[in-house]
Chains A and B, each alone.
Chain A
Amino acid sequence: MKIPFIWTAIAAGLALLPVVLPSNYYLGIMIFIGLNSLAAMGLCLLMGYAGQISLGHAAFFGMGAYISGILSVSYGFPPWLSVIAAVTATALLAFVLGVPILRLQGYYLAVATLGLGIIVYLVFMNWTSLTGGPSGLSAIPYLALGPLSFNRDLKVYYLVWAVVFLALACGHNIVKSRVGRALRSIHSSEIAAQAMGINTGRYKVKVFALSAAYAALAGGLYAHYLTFISPAPFGFQFSIELLVMVVVGGIGDLSGAILGAAVITLLSEILRDLMPHLFSYGAGEYEIVFFGILLIVFMIFLPGGLVQGLDFLRRRPRVMAQR
């Protein structure tokens, strides 16, 4: 496979980035951008290509984190194995749940996935014997590969971004293939796709499971990086943030999900610092309002997201020259 120059440059830039970052705080943010990129890419496969919405994707991120955490803490699984098991289990569960849910379309699907997200969140909160309830699950072991333990931010940084690029390559291959065309055909006209012999129901469920697997992989890495998980980060707000990442980055472009994840994760951090200065009360609540406004602005002015905007800027000089 030919890798475009820009990706080689981005990968090289990311590899050298830790050298110039002033502190571990920024490395941590870069890790979160990577994890969010993974989940957003999964959501992008589902929304941008197959045209199916999910307002509950935080649930799959959380399942990846919890299943992997529980397996390694309570059952003594080696962390690598528990991540793989968590991704597989989440994908299977999404597949089974997807069979009835993805029969629904439009608003109904949105509401069903929203409900799924809420139910899973409540399970994290209330199945205390398994999940630790609101106080969470702690002492999750670091990932380790033989003698190499991913116990430092720097190591996790390289691991997470290696996984991001691997996942991007796989996703890219899928969307450029026969399968990707089938997914896009479902997005455009489900009846025409069926008339072409595409089992649309089966493809929708499969891509739902795949996108859940992406989120679960991010969740698993998250759990073994922070070594502590609680239900709070896996609620409705995170599902919406993932959605905003996909839209802001560019809904029809897998690499846009990474861009969107970077922008939203950084904005989130900035807002967290800024909001308490602006509002004396309930600063945290304004964050979601801000993202809501961002979503609306993008839908109106740049529905193709940042990727489309960049593409336009890149082409404009040439268009100008032709005139």
Chain B
Amino acid sequence: MSLLQVKRITKHFGGLTALSDLSFSVEEGKVFGLIGPNGAGKTTLLNIISGFLKATSGNIILQGKSITGCHPHILASRGISRTFQNGQIFGNMTALENVMVGCHIRFGGEFLNAALQTGWSRRQEGEIRQVSVEILASMGLQAWAQEPADSLPFGLQRLLEIARGVATKPRLLLLDEPAAGLNREEKERLTLEIARLRCQGITIILVEHDMDVVMSICDRLVVLNYGQKIAEGTPEEVQKDREVVAAYLGDEDGFHA
């Protein structure tokens, strides 16, 4: 069954058409790759799916229900979370607190409860901490729990951002270029983590330029160019596609961007 359907999405920025009549659907429990040259509209599409941008026209359907135009925080509670291309960890908190913020929607307690430190709110706090420690440990970041998040090595900050997203208990996790700036070892670790999330049943949309990562982990790919879908299929199928090769390299030598 398809978890997410993108239906005829078009997005104009003034006179520029960033996305044009784009449709595809994402199967549950798969890693879905979204690739294309710079400026193809990949991040724009992620922003529309996660509610940060409104599409000019078209619909986004999550499990049969339209979520078009919903606010990001609503979508998070419906099971869509994401990471950001430029990294948006909370640098003013520890690594553990970052993940604890991720747990926000799974727990309750507002100002009054917090101010009065009711027994209930203390129990909630204990649970939040426990769940967060577990998630951090599952990503192999337990040693960094009490460190300021911005003191983590870059590659680990990326993993922390994913851990924080996982803490929201998403059905669908959108990863925007998680491998950018990582070294080979870090990329391998990232690939393993993504595979592990898939095993947990989290569906993933991966925007990525690194073809090693994309080809090794994605179950299915959509290729965008100038806001249009130019190919869709398994990594093998897409790699052979003449139009894709042309869009990426301008020649037919191969596919090693």
Contacts and interface: CB of A to CB of B under 8 A. Distances in A.
Given A179-B109, A192-B88, A196-B102, A173 B115 contact: yes
Interface string A166-193: 0000110110011111101101110111
Most chain-B Cβ atoms within 10 A of its Cβ — which of A187, A189, A195?
A: A195
Contacts of B125: 177-178
Nearest to B51: A194
B121 A177 contact: yes
27 contacts: A170-B115, A170-B116, A173-B116, A174-B114, A177-B125, A178-B124, A178-B128, A179-B109, A179-B114, A180-B114, A184-B90, A184-B93, A185-B101, A187-B92, A191-B72, A192-B89, A192-B164, A194-B73, A194-B76, A195-B72, A195-B81, A195-B88, A196-B101, A196-B102, A196-B168, A197-B81, A198-B73
Interface string B76-106: 1100011010001111110001001110110
A210 interface: yes
Interface in A244-301: 252
B185 interface: no
Interface size class of B (residues with CB under 8 A): 35 or more
Given A191-B88, A192-B90, A206-B111, A181 B97 contact: yes
Contacts of B116: 170, 173
Contacts of A197: 73, 76-77, 81, 104-105, 168
A198 B73 CA distance: 5
Given A181-B97, A181-B104, A210-B111, A195 B50 contact: yes
A192 B76 contact: no
B189 interface: no
Q: 4 closest Cβ contacts across the A-B interface?
A: A197-B76, A197-B105, A177-B114, A192-B88
B115 A195 contact: no
A24 interface: no
A117 to B, nearest CB: 24
B114 A181 contact: no
Most chain-B Cβ atoms within 10 A of its Cβ — which of A1, A180, A182, A191?
A: A191
B88 A189 contact: yes
Contacts of A178: 100, 104, 107, 109, 114, 121, 124-125, 128
Interface size class of A (residues with CB under 8 A): 20 to 34
Interface in A190-246: 191-200, 206, 210
Contacts of B109: 177-179
A91 to B, nearest CB: 11
A188 B93 contact: yes
Contacts of B111: 174, 179, 206, 210
A18 to B, nearest CB: 29
A94 B90 CA distance: 28
A182 B111 CA distance: 11
Contacts of B76: 194-198
Interface string B117-131: 100010011001000
Most chain-B Cβ atoms within 10 A of its Cβ — which of A173, A180, A197, A210?
A: A197
A174 B72 contact: no
A9 B89 CA distance: 38
A188 B94 CA distance: 12
Contact of B110 (A179, A184, A188, A196): A179
Given A177-B114, A177-B125, A185 B90 contact: yes
Given A178-B124, A182-B101, A197-B73, 14 more contacts: A174-B115, A177-B109, A178-B100, A180-B114, A181-B97, A181-B101, A184-B92, A185-B101, A192-B89, A192-B164, A195-B76, A196-B101, A197-B76, A210-B111
Contacts of B113: 177
Nearest to A193: B101
Nearest to A199: B73
Nearest to A190: B88
Contacts of A174: 111, 114-115
A173 B117 contact: yes
Nearest to B164: A196
B165 interface: yes
Contacts of B164: 192, 196
Contacts of B105: 196-198
A180 B116 CA distance: 13
Contacts of B165: 195
B12 interface: no
A206 B114 CA distance: 13
B52 interface: yes
A72 B161 CA distance: 54
Contacts of A192: 84, 88-90, 164
A174 B104 CA distance: 14
